[in-house]
Amino acid sequence: MPETTPDTQKTEHPYPRHWEADVVASDGGIVHLRPILPGDAEALLAFHSKLSDRTRYLRYFGPYPRISPRDLERFTVVDHRTRVAFLALLGDEIVAVGRYEGLTAGGGAAAQDGAGTDKPVTSAEVAFVVRDDHQSRGLGSILLEHLAAAARENGLSRFEAEVLVENHAMVRVFREAGYQVKRAFAEGVLHLEFDIDPTEKSIAVRYAREQAAEARSVANLLHPSSVAVIGASADETKIGHAVLLNLLRAGFTGPVYPVNPDARSVRGVRAYPSVIDIPDEVDLAVVAVPAANIDEVMDSCLAKGVKVLVVISSGFADAGDDGGTVAERRLVAEARAHGMRVVGPNALGVANPDPAVRLNATLAPQLPGSGRTGFFCQSGALGSAILANARSRGLGLSSFVSAGNRADVSGNDLMQYWQTDPNTDQVLLYLETFGNPRKFARVARRLARTKPVIAVKSGRHTGPLPSLASVAASIDESSVQALFEQSGVIRVQTLPQMFDTALLIAHQPLPRGRRVAVVGNSTAVNLLVLDGLLDEGLELAGDPVDVGTQASPEAFAAAVRSTLAGARDRAPLPTGPVAPSGPAGAAPPGPGAATVDPGTAPAESVAPDAPPTGDAPPGEAPPGDAPAGDARPDPGPDALIAVFVPPVAVAGHAHAHALRDAAEGAGIPVIAVFLAAEGIPAELSVRTADGTPGRGSVPSFASPERATSALGRVSRYAEWRNTPVGEFVVPDGIDTERARCLIASFGPDRLHALTDDEAVELLACYGLPVVTFRLAKGVADTLAAADEVGYPVVLKATDDQWRHRGDFVGVRLDLGSPEAVRVAHAELARITGSEDVYVQRMAPKGTSCKVEVVDDPSFGSLIAFGLSGMATELLDDRAYRVLPVSTADAARLVRAPRAAPLLTGYRGSEPVDTAALEDVVLRVGRLTEDLPQIRSLSLDPVLASPEGAFVTGARVTVGPVPDRRDAGPRRLR
């Protein structure tokens, strides 16, 4: 049969190119998924011939030694609608096949093109088979996810399957997918049926498998058993020389293979002409050859079966031309097609200082010592300086990755790895862009619940690219900060701030509250510390203790011990993974938090983004002051700042030793302001076996402002981590199917602003009724509309420029009689020049609020909330949250604007029903999640009163579904 390409295949439904995907298998390797084509017939025969007799029997319920021509055509010629098939490919070889065949309402098989029957096709029979040498890689669950997504897109809602009882692996795939499966047994065959709409459990299973697979792929990168340096050179000016030298100096625990066709050895190590000539397996290849030679290198690495490439070379997308971008995409596509992952191009490299690995595959000659901090840096140019800074500050690293152009491996992948890495307690990120911002928000939120995430995001003032500016509203910097806070990310503005914060977290426990004690030998500096604490929203725990400029080390230490006395009995908050309540040794809850068989789902799954609650671990008091009834009158401070200004002729070494000893076992963070000393000085360090600073070391800051700023950031993070995450609920009274039918009837293949009636009908599907209104033309029609909706009424101009002005010139309120309506209509007609008005029933008087959905180019759809009015618009007093929103997110959102006290009884006013406002936010969030066609939505105003929250105005725009790369089955970007 002649080969058929996606562009030449003739079917009623065109080839769905958007179904193609690169997916990480459970062993960390990559497989490429795509729909089957008629031209795949020969490859399918070859695939079938490599299946064992046992695998064929389990799949086809009999020997089935060869595929007949008739079956071959039926298998390869599909319509991509009622009959769909996916291939899992490694290079040009098929390693797995999954398919579904539509069933009519009566249970019979549908015709290939859906013709020949009037019965609707709403369900399908699903089956898949995996080549024996690729089984136990989780390919069955991957195929099931993608088949279910394709079926839902085609309007199907249910899968059925026939499986031999002895086919335990396939039964497990269905059982552990997270769907509600019905089973029937007859004559050794299990008949399975299940709805394929995503469930809370199926989404959790998907995320857990994604986390385990992506973590494994990064583990392959950071724990290689062998490394090849392609482009290794004896020329000290070449980057290939630097990488090889750094690998050898670090003492990598595995073999290192230089690859240089023109040398027998490099730096005394035998060299090979090509990576193919290396006699042993190669896990990691560092590529340091010009971009023009990358194709030849790729061919040899693909033939060798290298697992991961680290491309140091530049000249790809970083060159700023289309040719470099095309070459970069081709590099990644070829690598993924053969199961490899790529770091770079234009990367500084990767490092793992663990003594069991000692990997330094970077251009940096010296690394920080081994520690418990993971570091992802997007910039190769800054990487060396960042590593040198970490080393000078005494911050040890568990692993380091500089991704350069970030063509494949990204910060999201590293966060997935660090989630369960036992050697990592905190994560540092230097980001220039977000590859998949929705996934970043989801993964960071889960990770930050157990391990602090500190991020620098460059480009804070550049705004969106011109090509994106027309697509989304501009989200200002304070709003972006709120987005990081929602995910628990500690956002800092500069690299020094990052290291200040990281040092505090790395060596001291998290604070349990906001009360900070100050002990120092300088009244002036103590006052600066106090100012800094107040600026950060922290509280002073008692008056600052001034020991005097001439205080001896012993007196200084005694004052510190005395101040800490009330805190020593309280256990500190952990900085590493939170210990869950439950059986000893149980893994923390949350998708991906547990160590599971890579090819299977965990036995128990939880809702997506549902990490442990913020309740204090058993036996620990909640943060803040002691609970009511505590016998201690003073629970002690939650943190302590020790200030030392060296007097003339006093170096301060003895005072530093005394402070370190006094702080031992304090149970709360203790930090120092030893002027002109920063990082972890030797005198303040608690040394580990390898001589690096360990837990209990006291970080020192060169100024009070830096000390209080770092403590403020860490305190806010500790509060966030101890705040319950809330529930991701589906509010009552939602009719999703009706809403989807409405959206389909609007035909949103282009941006379309809904009419008033359309918007009202859509919002009603989500329990968001708009207060009754009518559009009236002329005074007679207005009076009739007032009678219809019922007095008292409101008259509003139809043009937004009048209706939403801060002085309410286009609105007339509380009209209780026909005469009042007649007068108000005449006034509005005179002002606006139009006799058309909205007539709306008067809602209970309350505070005007605004709930919006905006589509941001960095973070996707956001919910914005603020109070209505000119001051709010002028000051941009809005708060934002990333979707999805939990009950806790909704509660924080309506209380986040600076004007929010007006809702909760400011100056004796009656508090509004904030629970009703939170319900509006949750319903809007659910609507936007369920209907990705919603491009913008504005409920303005929402009148919040003690009686509830009443929507009195709404605007909705629908359009083509934007890129939601985190909303479907697993796939790499």
Position 680 scores a pLDDT of 82
Position 623 scores a pLDDT of 40
Residue 8 to residue 413: CA distance in whole angstroms:
37
Position 12 scores a pLDDT of 56
Question: Would you say residue 912 has pLDDT above 60?
Answer: yes
Residue 430 to residue 787: CA distance in whole angstroms:
62
Q: What is the pLDDT of residues 265-285, one digit of tens each?
A: 999 999 999 999 999 999 999
Position 459 scores a pLDDT of 64
Q: What is the pLDDT of residues 123-145, one digit of tens each?
A: 999 999 999 999 999 999 999 99
**429 vs 334, 336, 478, 492, 782, CA distance in Å?**
28, 25, 19, 10, 60
Q: What's the alpha-carbon Rg for the chain, to the nearest Å?
A: 32
The DSSP annotation for 676-696 comes to T--B--GGG--B-TTSSB-TT
Class of domain 17-197: alpha beta
Q: Which residue has the higher pLDDT, 650 or 410?
A: 410
Q: Which of 91-95, 195-199, 882-886 has the lowest mean pLDDT?
A: 882-886
Question: Would you say residue 893 has pLDDT above 90?
Answer: yes
| Cβ atoms of residues 672 and 698 within 8 Å | yes
Position 963 scores a pLDDT of 64
| Cβ atoms of residues 386 and 430 within 8 Å | yes
Question: Would you say residue 211 has pLDDT above 90?
Answer: yes
| Cβ atoms of residues 238 and 49 within 8 Å | no
CA dihedral 114, 115, 120, 121 (to 10 degrees): -20
Q: Which of 144-148, 153-157, 640-644 has the lowest mean pLDDT?
A: 153-157
Q: Looking at residue 404, what DSSP letter applies?
A: T
**Alpha-helical runs (H) found in 647-767:** 653-663, 704-721, 736-746, 756-764
Q: What is the pLDDT of residues 523-577, one digit of tens each?
A: 999 999 999 999 999 999 999 999 998 899 999 999 999 999 877 666 555 554 4
Model confidence, pTM: 0.86
The band of 857, judged by pLDDT with boundaries at 50, 70 and 90, is low
The domain spans of the chain are: 17-197, 509-579+635-721, 772-842
Q: Which residues pair with 104 in a beta bridge?
A: 121
Question: Would you say residue 499 has pLDDT above 50?
Answer: yes
Mapped onto helix, strand or coil, the DSSP state of residue 704 is helix
Question: Nearest-CA neighbor of 271 among 229, 240, 320, 306?
Answer: 229
Choose from 39-53, 363-377, 633-647 the range with maximum mean pLDDT. 39-53
Question: Would you say residue 471 has pLDDT above 80?
Answer: no
Residue 497 to residue 505: CA distance in whole angstroms:
12
Question: Would you say residue 700 has pLDDT above 80?
Answer: yes
Task: Kindly report the number of other CB atoms within 10 A of residue 9's CB atom.
Answer: 16
Question: Would you say residue 614 has pLDDT above 50?
Answer: no
Q: Give the max Cα distance, the chain.
A: 102
Residue 235 to residue 243: CA distance in whole angstroms:
12
Return the percentage of the chain with pLDDT > 90, whole number: 69
Looking at every residue in the chain, the average pLDDT score rounds to 86
Q: Torsions phi, psi of 240, nearest 5?
A: -65, -30
H or E segment to which residue 617 belongs? none
Residue 863 to residue 934: CA distance in whole angstroms:
12
Which residues touch 20 (CB under 8 Å, ≥6 apart)?
32, 33, 34, 35
Position 247 scores a pLDDT of 97
The band of 486, judged by pLDDT with boundaries at 50, 70 and 90, is confident
| Average pLDDT for 306-335 | 91
The band of 759, judged by pLDDT with boundaries at 50, 70 and 90, is very high
Instruction: Please tell me the number of Cα atoms within 13 Å of 111 on its side-chain side.
Output: 8
**367 vs 353, 359, 510, CA distance in Å?**
8, 10, 27
Question: Would you say residue 363 has pLDDT above 80?
Answer: yes
Question: Would you say residue 303 has pLDDT above 50?
Answer: yes
Question: Would you say residue 972 has pLDDT above 60?
Answer: yes
The CATH number of the domain covering residues in 509-579+635-721: 3.40.50.261
Position 580 scores a pLDDT of 35
Question: Would you say residue 589 has pLDDT above 80?
Answer: no
Q: Which residues pair with 99 in a beta bridge?
A: 85, 127
Position 473 scores a pLDDT of 36
| Average pLDDT for 282-306 | 93
The CATH number of the domain covering residues in 772-842: 3.30.1490.20
Q: Which amino acid is it at 821?
A: V
Q: What is the pLDDT of residues 180-209, one digit of tens each?
A: 999 999 989 999 999 998 888 999 999 999
- Preceding amide of 273 cis, omega within 30: no
Question: Nearest-CA neighbor of 343 among 409, 276, 419?
Answer: 409
Write the secondary structure of 456-495 as one string of H (helix), E (strand) and C (coil). EECCCCCCCCHHHHCCCCCCCHHHHHHHHHHCCEEEECCH
Q: What is the pLDDT of residues 149-173, one digit of tens each?
A: 999 989 899 999 999 999 999 999 9
